[in-house]
Amino acid sequence: MLTAEQNDELTQVEPGTRMGEVLRRYWYPVAFTRELEEFPVKRVELLGEFFALWRSPSGRYGIVPEPCPHRKASMAYGVVEANGLRCPYHGWVFDTDGACTEQPAEKDNTNFQERVRATAGRVEELGGLVWAYVGPAPAPELPRFDTYVMEGFRDIGWADLPCNYVQIMENAVDPHHVEFLHGRYFEFVGRHEGFTAPASFGKEHVRIGFDAFEWGIIKRRVLKGATEENDDWKVGHPLVFPYNMRVGGGGIHQMQIRVPINRTTTRFMLYTVHAPDGYEHVEQPQVPDYEIPVFDDRGRHVTNYVEGQDIMAWVTQGAITDRTTEHLGRSDIGVAMLRRMFREQMDVVERGEDPLGTIREQHDRIDLPCEKDKFHAGGAQFALDFCDMGSTRFSPVLDTIKKIHISAADKIAAERAG
């Protein structure tokens, strides 16, 4: 339970707000790489602001606020040219640094164009996604988390959700929900729809724990029948501050991404890499993306898959959940810890320091701790449950993914037998 003012502060994303200023210190995925290959300019909404994102013919990316500094027409309808983005209205051109390089109707002998910059952000491509940084300079390095650079077969599921991102992040430090939302509730839905829910999701929690670390919070659990020597506790998996969660198991590696589009809209993305032991390289000229269902044709949540259940729980809390009338228990202590972390980082940014998880050193790869034997369910079985019962069932490359896991398991079994 918080006060209304604290809830307001916690859920802000807009520029000039305390939390909005924290959020502007991070990079966000704002497009799929293939989108700008298909059409080189895109209107992007991020943190409650609109931008024009473009890719030049030579492959350079740029991002500027959507309104042209001249007369405020949309640069998202701009003309992509070799040296920048040209406003469709009067032809002013801005380069990837935000400098105005052309004002066709103005005289050449003035310094007018030097006086209007477009406050450009930074853009990079990584792992089939286009990433943008729209905060103050100098931009930190784009974190090259393991999922984006590791060998494996990829796909990206996504949905735009009508709720604030904080309630989604609170779910990432809420281990108990798994045994009910993905256990008991899943069984209930399965009984009525005629399928069997995966048994491993319903295991009872015996102990939960949370530890702050350099990238956020490591979440740990001991499930009934397991001990602190099992991966779920010994390794756990992290909430990656402020908007990601790294999960995995059974040769699957996933970053769950929750981009604050605006205060009441969140782009939920499931960036998944299939790389079981025994994986043999499969060529992927492009990382496929696919939209996962949120509502059915009657407007009811689709809850017969894992992420659909999460989405139902997040969205039905309301566009911004009313934390003044919630009733947290001891089992919600991870939620309290996360709120403290958000609040701490507001102070850090106000002091002019880098918040948690910003990185300024060049690096090749950041490995995040993540359990491999999830729910002590056995690797291959977890992977198949993941394919059949999770969002991967909607992937356009589902058949290939299943073949990858089955052939890898067969290969490992043959090696062990031989």
Partner 1 sequence: MTVAPGLPGGAREDRRFRPDAEAHRRDAPRFCPRCAAALGLATEFWEAEERRFYCWCSGCGWAGEITPGEGGVRGHEPEH
- Complex with partner 1: residue 4 or 199, whichever CB lies closer: 4
- The CB-of-370 to partner 1 minimum distance in angstroms stands at 26
Q: Tell me the CB-side half-sphere exposure of residue 383, using CA atoms within 13 A.
A: 24
263 binds partner 1 (CB under 8 A): yes
4 binds partner 1 (CB under 8 A): yes
For residue 32, give Cα distances in angstroms to 58, 287, 294, 362, 388.
18, 8, 20, 24, 25
For residue 163, give Cα distances in angstroms to 15, 63, 167, 239.
19, 25, 8, 19
- The CB-of-357 to partner 1 minimum distance in angstroms stands at 19
Contact 64, 118 (CB under 8 A): yes
- For partner 1, the binding residue among 104, 136, 318, 396 (CB under 8 A) is 318
- For partner 1, the binding residue among 39, 193, 228, 328 (CB under 8 A) is 328
320 binds partner 1 (CB under 8 A): yes
Q: d(Cα 102, Cα 95) in Å, to the nearest integer?
A: 10
- Complex with partner 1: residue 8 or 277, whichever CB lies closer: 8
160 binds partner 1 (CB under 8 A): no
- The CB-of-148 to partner 1 minimum distance in angstroms stands at 32
Q: d(Cα 357, Cα 216) in Å, to the nearest integer?
A: 7
253 binds partner 1 (CB under 8 A): no
16 binds partner 1 (CB under 8 A): no
| Block residue for tokens 């948690």 | 356
316 binds partner 1 (CB under 8 A): no
- For partner 1, the binding residue among 319, 359, 398, 406 (CB under 8 A) is 319
Sequence-ordered list of residues with C-beta below 8 angstroms from that of 108, at least 6 positions apart, any chain: none
Size of the site for partner 1 (CB under 8 A): 34
Select from 69-77, 315-323, 355-363, 405-413 the region that touches partner 1 (CB under 8 A): 315-323
Q: Tell me the CB-side half-sphere exposure of residue 57, using CA atoms within 13 A.
A: 5
DSSP single-letter state for residue 193: H
Contact 105, 96 (CB under 8 A): no
DSSP single-letter state for residue 197: P
Q: Which of the residues 270 through 289 are near partner 1 (CB under 8 A)?
A: none
- Complex with partner 1: residue 129 or 218, whichever CB lies closer: 218
- For partner 1, the binding residue among 224, 330, 352, 416 (CB under 8 A) is 330
344 binds partner 1 (CB under 8 A): yes
Q: How far is CA 198 from the centre of its chain?
A: 25
For residue 66, give Cα distances in angstroms to 15, 43, 394.
15, 7, 33
Select from 75-83, 269-277, 323-331, 393-401 the region that touches partner 1 (CB under 8 A): 323-331
Over the range 239-266, which residues count as b (16 or more CB within 10 Å of their CB) and which as e? bbbbbbbbbbbbbbbbbbbbbbbbbbbb
Which residues make beta-bridge pairs with 220? 209
- The CB-of-157 to partner 1 minimum distance in angstroms stands at 25
15 binds partner 1 (CB under 8 A): no
302 binds partner 1 (CB under 8 A): no
Which one, of 176, 213, 203, lies nearest residue 376 by Cα? 203
Tokens of 85: 């983005």
351 binds partner 1 (CB under 8 A): no
Tokens of 264: 């009441």
Select from 114-122, 283-291, 341-349, 362-370 the region that touches partner 1 (CB under 8 A): 341-349
- Complex with partner 1: residue 7 or 33, whichever CB lies closer: 7
Which one, of 373, 379, 376, lies nearest residue 406 by Cα? 379
164 binds partner 1 (CB under 8 A): yes
Give me the residues that bind partner 1 (CB under 8 A), please.
1-8, 11-12, 164, 263-264, 318-322, 324-325, 327-330, 332-333, 335-337, 339-340, 343-344, 347
